[in-house]
Structure 1
Amino acid sequence: MPNPPATAAQPRRSALLRLGALCGLAGLSGLASSGEVLAAVAAARSGAAYQPALLTRDELQLTGVLAELIIPRTDTPGALEVGAHQVIDHLLKVCSLEAEQARFKAGLARIEAAAQAQGGRRFGALPAARQVALLQAMDRGRAPFDADGQAFFRQLKGYVAFAYYTSEAGATRELAYLPIPGGFQGNYKLTRSTRNWAI
């Protein structure tokens, strides 16, 4: 399935960024300071061969597939390429309570069970169109999923947005970035391809 053009991905990525900032990581706020969260992100991106911290290898691989479907590669790297799944795994291990960790794993298991029931294969082996259809059903809380599945998918999108936009590519290639911002520019001309700004 071809990737959507960059202009089509812009509003979706903007919405995901806001979702992650506003509510996607609400579960982390009471457990870790911003410094601890940033330290966890840095550890997951250390460059060494990544060893899963909480998820099994199969769960980590599935999280990577899901992350790439949420933020695919366009003219900028996708979530899988920036290691969003590794950051999510590390954040869950370091910054989440056991109950939240269990809910996340149960959400992944729910996706795999639905894929097996409808396609006889693991989610990662399904055709791209079937993967998208299952995630759309989950996002809407429709069969074979329910409200718990919908809540998990919304949480996952928040994690993916946070992991993506704290990566170098997300902050400097997907978003516009000025290391030393200039002065005020009134009447700034915007086009359909103007990128949002990193914060």
Structure 2
Amino acid sequence: MNRGEQGPQEPSDAPHANALSSGARPAGSHAGRLYPENARRSALLRIGALCGLALSGDVLAAVTAPAGNGAPELLTRDELALTGVLAELIIPQTDTPGALAVGAHRTIDHLLKACVPKRDQADFRAGLARIEEAALAQGGKRFGALPQARQVALLHAIDNGAAPFKGTDQHFFRQLKSYVAFAYYTSEAGASKELAYLPFPGGYTGSIKVTRSTRTWAI
């Protein structure tokens, strides 16, 4: 798949300075992403509640299955690739892996197939199509082939409901950010490298000292 078909590129080993960020970041931080810090936890709770209502047994196993490299379950390959590009812009690689490296786009594809109603599936795919249409109209190229600065400008426009996007597009993008947060922070890397994770916790401690650098616990 060539660049014009917007296949997501594998991130390099070295952390990069993303166009969404400014200044130095502390270790394990994605401070410059398009996903506000104070919205992450509520996003996880909302999507977790959605899946809790819809998932059990085999369906839960399907959603939590490791991401692979095979054909997507619901999205087309182009839609999956675009989702990967968007996810990486929302949570880019820094000194910790970004959304693309943990396979967030494939987890989102699983999520859409397993526990999202068909109408909402159609709305999600329509949102992806509108981003492509805006990219072609403004830049003459598909979104994945645009310079990163142009990509970021379009995402800020849709996040703010600004032209050429509408309120429905803003709703789609906020839903996408919720999906990306859920997929990222339930991955091994997201839970263990960005959040604090203790696989075998000890006794209960009712009060601990917390500083600005203390990470949120994964569980």
Same-fold call, TM > 0.5?
Answer: yes
- Is the Cα contact below 8 Å between 1:24 and 1:154 reproduced in 2? no
Aligned equivalent of 1:190? 211
Unpaired segments ≥5 residues, structure 2: 1-15
Aligned equivalent of 1:128? 148
- 2:72 is aligned, of 45, 48, 52, to 52
- How many residues are matched? 195
Aligned equivalent of 1:66? 86
Q: Distance in 2 between matches of 1:90 and 1:23?
A: 17
Cα–Cα, structure 1 residues 50 and 17, in superposed 2: closer, same or farther, change >3 Å?
farther
- Is the Cα contact below 8 Å between 1:24 and 1:157 reproduced in 2? no
- 1:6 is aligned, of 21, 25, 29, to 25
1:160 is aligned to 2:180: yes
Alignment root-mean-square deviation, CA: 2.4
- Is the Cα contact below 8 Å between 1:70 and 1:157 reproduced in 2? yes
TM-score, reference length from structure 2: 0.79
Cα–Cα, structure 1 residues 167 and 102, in superposed 2: closer, same or farther, change >3 Å?
same
Give the percent of matched residue pairs that are identical in Structure 1 and Structure 2: 62
Aligned equivalent of 2:105? 85
- Is the Cα contact below 8 Å between 1:138 and 1:149 reproduced in 2? yes
Shift of residue 113, structure 1, vs aligned partner? 0.3
- 2:42 is aligned, of 8, 12, 19, to 19
Cα–Cα, structure 1 residues 150 and 189, in superposed 2: closer, same or farther, change >3 Å?
closer
Q: Which has the higher relative contact order, 1 or 2, with Cα contacts under 8 A spaced 6 or more apart?
A: 1
Q: Please give the residue correspondences for 1:138-149 in structure 2 after superposition, counting only pairs within 5 Å.
A: 138-149=158-169
Q: Which amino acid aligns with 1:20?
A: A
Cα–Cα, structure 1 residues 167 and 119, in superposed 2: closer, same or farther, change >3 Å?
same
